[in-house]
């Protein structure tokens, strides 16, 4: 009897992803850095927060909707951009379709495996993400291509530094996938026939190129080519951030803020939103969980710009906790990648349904009529839970 493709939790989707994907693909998604403290804390800290439910006066109908970066969201979740993935041949197009079907916005990485034009066609509510990489002219060209394709917002990610090994080992990612590499990789790939078959049926192998970085009239660079360009680019100043925000002249999210002083500088630099993020634990290991930092950042700038959070969200209850502590919405990364691995587009929809259902239960059980009513009084916050990074002055 074939197994029911539906799964009831993100944890189950991850178990299925681990079985289904070749070790190197799964390993690249798990990622994290060094000891893995931050990635663990991102997830674990949500479990330290408790709920304080009410039992009478529940609302029969609850409004979960909001807007993020000027885009409608049926519930306060957005797809976080993730780079070159070899999970599914439909990649970000499948993710964008799933997000559109569930009424939530899509974040598309400039390192994605699908062109922005195909992704905006699948989900018009798309935000395109850039790293500070290449010359200003190159960045403008990429940004204008995304705008022409219909992207409604720009994301600038600044919290990725050169990651420093993992105690559990890093997967070896090939420069490019051709026949020779396929033969070399065969021992790791052959035990995963369903993954191989899904790609084979689609007629394309995961080639690890970055179509959104393709220069006019040139070739799309490989992931390592793109990475090399980024490493050789002088890191940005706040003036550079301000320049890019002005060039975009629309909803602009600075992704990767941890410190209160950075959040304030971001406001001064003209961004319209920030995401409290540590790149899913892939930046400097031992940075505290984003949910611990959120309250201080939201208190400092939440009345001036949209404050979002990403990192460790695996349940609808996590979404409720982030909103109660001041986030307007959350972005999710690995959760939807596990869903994509477990069951393609339907798997991503399954993950979004899990988050929506869990959030709705929390809003119901806490006695609210809408997500906007979530507040710290809904939570049991252990002493010493929160962290303030940087000077609030
Ligand atoms: C495999 C992988 C690739 C990622 N690639 C990008 C990227 O290209 N651009 C970006 O802004 N963030 C990238 N991120 C970070 C995510 O957008 C997000 O911040 C992180 O995954 C959130 O944590 P979570 O996975 O616990 O939800 C990546 C994360 C993962 C796991």
SS3 of residue 269 by DSSP: coil
In a domain, 5, yes or no: no
How many A from CA of 283 to the centre of ligand 1? 10
How many A from CA of 289 to the centre of ligand 1? 15
Mean predicted confidence (pLDDT) in 343-351:
98
Q: Whose CA is nearest to atom 27 of ligand 1?
A: 333
pTM reported for the whole predicted model = 0.96
CATH assignment at residue 260: 3.20.20.70
Assign residue 255 a region: left if phi > 0, alpha if psi is -120 to 50, beta otherwise?
beta
Strand partners, 20: none
In a domain, 135, yes or no: yes
Of 170 and 293, the one with more pLDDT: 293
Mean predicted confidence (pLDDT) in 337-366:
98
In 3D space, the residue among 339, 325, 360, 361 whose CA is nearest the CA of residue 45 turns out to be 325
Write down the pLDDT at residue 177.
65
In a domain, 132, yes or no: yes
In a domain, 227, yes or no: yes
In a domain, 22, yes or no: yes
Query: Do residues 296 and 388 lie in contact, with contact meaning Cβ atoms separated by under 8 Å?
Result: yes
Catalytic residue flag (residue 279): yes
Query: Do residues 145 and 125 lie in contact, with contact meaning Cβ atoms separated by under 8 Å?
Result: no
280 lines ligand 1 (CB under 6 A): yes
pLDDT at 169 > cutoff 80: yes
CA separation for the pair 198, 13 (Å, rounded): 17
Query: Do residues 16 and 7 lie in contact, with contact meaning Cβ atoms separated by under 8 Å?
Result: yes
Locate 373 and state its tokens: 């009513």
First vs last C-alpha separation in the chain: 63
pLDDT at 60 > cutoff 80: yes
In a domain, 386, yes or no: no
Number of independent structural domains in the chain: 1
Q: Whose CA is nearest to atom 15 of ligand 1?
A: 279
Of 69, 209, 333, which is best to mutate to test ligand 1, by the most ligand atoms within 8 angstroms of its C-beta? 333
In a domain, 329, yes or no: yes
Residue 100 main-chain phi, psi, to 5 deg: -65, -45
Please give the residue range of the domain that contains residue 275: 10-380
In a domain, 1, yes or no: no
């Amino acid at each position: 009897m074939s197994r029911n493709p539906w799964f009831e939790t993100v944890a189950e989707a991850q178990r299925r992803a681990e079985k289904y994907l070749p070790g190197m693909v799964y390993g690249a998604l798990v990622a994290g850095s060094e000891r893995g403290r931050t990635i663990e804390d991102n997830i674990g800290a949500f479990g330290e927060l408790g709920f304080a439910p009410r039992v009478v006066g529940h609302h029969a109908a609850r409004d979960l909707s909001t807007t993020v970066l000027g885009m409608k969201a049926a519930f306060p979740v957005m797809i976080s951009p993730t780079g070159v993935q070899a999970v599914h041949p439909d990649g970000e197009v499948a993710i964008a379709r799933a997000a559109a079907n569930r009424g939530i916005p899509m974040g598309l990485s400039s390192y994605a495996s699908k062109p922005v034009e195909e992704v905006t066609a699948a989900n018009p509510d798309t935000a395109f993400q850039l790293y500070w990489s290449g010359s200003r002219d190159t960045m403008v060209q990429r940004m204008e291509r995304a705008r022409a394709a219909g992207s409604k917002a720009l994301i600038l990610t600044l919290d990725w530094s050169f990651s420093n090994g993992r105690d559990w080992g890093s997967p070896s990612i090939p420069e490019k996938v051709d026949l020779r590499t396929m033969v070399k990789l065969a021992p790791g790939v052959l035990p995963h026939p369903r993954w191989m078959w899904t790609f084979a049926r689609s007629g394309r192998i995961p080639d690890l190129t970055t179509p959104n970085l393709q220069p006019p009239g040139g070739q799309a660079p490989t992931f390592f080519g793109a990475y090399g360009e980024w490493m050789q680019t002088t890191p940005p100043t706040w003036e550079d951030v301000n320049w890019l925000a002005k060039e975009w002249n629309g909803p602009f999210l600075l992704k990767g803020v941890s410190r209160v002083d950075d959040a304030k500088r971001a406001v001064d630099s003209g961004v319209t939103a920030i995401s409290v993020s540590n790149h899913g634990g892939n930046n400097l290991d031992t940075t505290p969980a984003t949910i611990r930092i959120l309250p201080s950042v939201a208190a400092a700038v939440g009345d001036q710009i949209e404050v979002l959070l990403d990192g460790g969200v695996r349940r609808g209850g996590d979404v409720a906790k982030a909103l109660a502590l001041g986030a307007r919405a959350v972005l999710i990364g690995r959760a939807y990648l596990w869903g994509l691995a477990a069951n393609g587009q339907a798997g991503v929809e399954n993950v979004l349904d899990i988050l929506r259902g869990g959030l709705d239960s929390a809003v119901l059980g806490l006695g609210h009529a809408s997500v906007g009513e979530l507040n710290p009084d809904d939570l049991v916050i252990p002493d010493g839970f929160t962290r303030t990074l940087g000077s609030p002055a």
